[in-house]
């Protein structure tokens, strides 16, 4: 879901995911006449060590102004990631995307991904941003 919504301290990660979404959407137009289908699988949290490995790069102790907020955000990320989907469930969505024969571009993978993407689509920016700030302990 990182290419459809962004979370605190994930600017580089989310920027790359937004790029994947845009490139994939453009490619699906360009490749359709050649009979090539493009798929974007959008997982939520997956029970792997992603947060342990990837989020630590955001923790630069030299930037003291961010430490309190960063610790709050990392704690919330940990809780979120610990409730993720089993990797096998995500693999099933990938297999379905590759074999279902549809023209569908995007596939949410995991219950949390389905819920988050629906919530993002249903909320205006102010409401969505407020919910993210609340989830990650960010004062307005």
Chain segment 100-122, per-residue pLDDT in tens: 999 999 999 999 999 999 999 99
Instruction: Determine what percent of the chain is predicted with pLDDT higher than 70.
Output: 93
Give the CA-trace dihedral at 123, 139, 134, 87, to 10 degrees.
100
Q: Among residues 42, 50, 32, which one has the least CA distance to residue 118?
A: 42
Provide the b/e sequence for 68-85 (b: ≥16 CB within 10 Å). Answer: eebeebbebbeebbeebb
Band of the pLDDT at 84, cuts 50, 70, 90? confident
32-51 pLDDT, tens digit each: 999 999 999 999 889 887 66
Predicted confidence at residue 139, as pLDDT, reads: 81
Hey, what domains does the chain have and what are their CATH numbers?
Answer: 11-135 (3.40.50.720)
Least confident of 2-11, 43-52, 53-62, 70-79: 53-62
Tracing tokens 């137009």 back to the chain, one arrives at 29
**Pick the residue with more confidence: 63 or 94?**
94
Burial class (CB in 10 A: 0-12, 13-18, 19+), 48: middle
């Amino acid at each position: 879901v990182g290419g459809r919504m962004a979370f605190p301290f994930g600017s580089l990660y989310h920027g790359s995911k937004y790029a994947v979404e845009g490139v994939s959407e453009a490619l699906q137009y360009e490749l359709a006449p050649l009979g090539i289908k493009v798929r974007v699988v959008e997982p939520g949290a997956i029970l792997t060590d992603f947060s342990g490995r990837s989020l630590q790069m955001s923790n630069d102790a030299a930037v003291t102004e961010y430490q309190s907020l960063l610790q709050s955000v990392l704690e919330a990320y940990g809780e979120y990631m610990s409730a993720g989907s089993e990797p096998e469930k995500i693999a099933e969505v990938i297999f379905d995307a590759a074999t279902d024969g549809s023209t569908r571009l995007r596939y949410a993978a995991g219950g949390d991904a389905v819920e988050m993407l629906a919530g993002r689509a249903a909320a205006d920016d102010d409401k969505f941003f407020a919910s993210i700030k609340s989830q990650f302990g960010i004062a307005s």
